[in-house]
Structure 1
Amino acid sequence: MNFPKLFEMQSFLDQNIRLTQGIPVDKDLTEDKKDALDVEISELQNEIKYFKFWKRPETRKVNREAALEEYVDGLHFFLSLGNDYQVPLECGYREILVKDDLQGQFRIIKHYISIMNGPMHWHIAFGLYLGLAEMLGFSDEEIERKYLEKNTINHQRQAEGY
């Protein structure tokens, strides 16, 4: 993934949202973004359905494209928080940490998001999030493609008064 490009695109989207929504530049949105990221990760969990023990396995079919879109929605907030924490754009971000199972991976990601207060926790959480993509079989190319699509949609939504 071309992280410098994605960080810059996210910065432009965030500036557009602030301008469109009338949010002052000095208003700190970090906690709101962390909450939004947590919700997006929960939506991804709901799409993957791994925890729905009450449903028969054949009814837990995953819509891969919908799961990828939820993953990318979370990526938007990770990038936004990375910009807020002034994470260097040129970092490789290839330290992918993977737990033994999806439930463990989701839980540790959410843990680090809940305690995130700077670049160190962001790096750990983001590495885990990249590991989650690997566990789900999402390639860098398809993540970046979906991010570009969704970023365009997000700009359109702002232009249309979302």
Structure 2
Amino acid sequence: MIIRLSELYAKQAILNKRIKNEHNLFDDDLFLDQVLALLVEIGEASNSSRHFKYWSTNQKPKEDLREEFVDVLHFGLSLGLEIGYHLGLVKAHIGSDLTTHTLLLAERVIQLAQARDPKIPKSLLIERYENMMQYLLGLGIMYGFSEEEIIEGYKEKFAENMSRQATGY
């Protein structure tokens, strides 16, 4: 499945600029903070999906799974903006099972962070970002969300995040 992201990058840029402006962060390098936030959000989405909780008799995903996945997407988009790159279309990579796919996504996030080294060509950083986004969007598809549900969920969370910034979140 191919997912269109251009509109989402534009919205994320608005939110990121607002956050940086309101918190006086324009001179700060937020890349590693965003990497860590993305890893945390991947964990929160996993917790809501419950796919790895073999010890539990309740395997039904929590109601907030889409919102948690959209948080993952927000930080994925932010990382692209932070490195000065965005994708118009992304072909989602669909894995064989959720646990393996989630771990491979986390690995790709860390590989992206490692490629931020100034000694490494920017082309490798871009390649790793593209690959990470393929796995990130694949995770949403594997959770059972359509492109429309992902985009609509993003727009809803974007509006909530803008409102939160207005109220001093």
Paired amino acid for 2:100: G
Whichever structure has more helix as a proportion of its residues is 1
Q: Does 1:26 align with 2:27?
A: yes
**CA shift for structure 1 position 10:** 0.3
Question: For 1:71 and 1:46, how far apart are their aligned partners in 2?
Answer: 11
89 and 115 in structure 1: CA distance in 2 versus 1, 3 angstrom threshold: closer
- What does the per-residue CA deviation read over 1:87-108, in whole Å, with 9 as the maximum and x for residues that have no partner? 2443x212x2222111110000
- The Cα of 1:21 is off from its aligned counterpart by 1.3
Shift of 1:84: 1.5
1:71 matched to 2:72: no
CA distance in 2, matches of 1:149, 1:10: 12
Deviations 1:34-55 (Å, cap 9, x if unpaired)?
0000000000000011111221
Aligned mates of 2:85, 2:22 — CA distance in 1: 25
Q: Could you tell me which amino acid in structure 2 is paired with residue 20 of structure 1?
A: E
Q: Residues of 1 paired with 2:102 and 2:87: CA distance?
A: 25
TM-score by length of 2: 0.87
Q: What count of residue pairs does the alignment treat as equivalent?
A: 156
1:84 to 63, 82, 85: 82
CA distance in 1, matches of 2:7, 2:93: 23
RMSD over aligned CA atoms reads 1.3
- How far 1:2 moved relative to its partner? 4.0
**Residue ranges of structure 2 left out of the alignment (5+ in a row):** 116-124
Q: Give the letter aligned to residue 61 of structure 1.
A: K
- The answer on whether the counterparts of 1:105 and 1:128 sit within 8 Å (CA) in structure 2 is yes
Normalization by structure 1: what TM-score? 0.90
1:110 aligns to 2:112 (yes or no)? no
User: Which of 2, 5, 8 matches 2:7?
Assistant: 5
Which amino acid letter does the alignment assign opposite residue 137 of structure 2? L
Query: Which residue of 1 is the match for residue 17 of structure 2?
Result: 15
Structure 1 residues 132-160: Cα deviation after superposition (integer angstroms, max 9, x where no partner):
12211101111111111100111111111
For residue 161 of structure 1, the aligned residue among 156, 162, 168 is 168
- 1:131 aligned to 2:138? yes
Equivalent-residue separation in structure 2 for 1:51 and 1:110 (angstroms): 15
Provide the residue aligned with 1:40 in structure 2: 41
- Unaligned runs of 5+ residues in structure 1 are none
Cα shift readout 1:112-137 (whole Å, capped 9, x = no counterpart) = 10121322111111101111122111
For the Cα contact (< 8 Å) 2:41–2:68, is it kept in 1? yes
Contact 2:9 2:86 in 1 (8 A): no
Q: Are the equivalent residues in 2 in contact too, given 1:86–1:119 (CA < 8 A)? A: no
- Rounded Cα–Cα distance in structure 2 between residues aligned with 1:87 and 1:18: 18
Shift of 1:66: 1.0
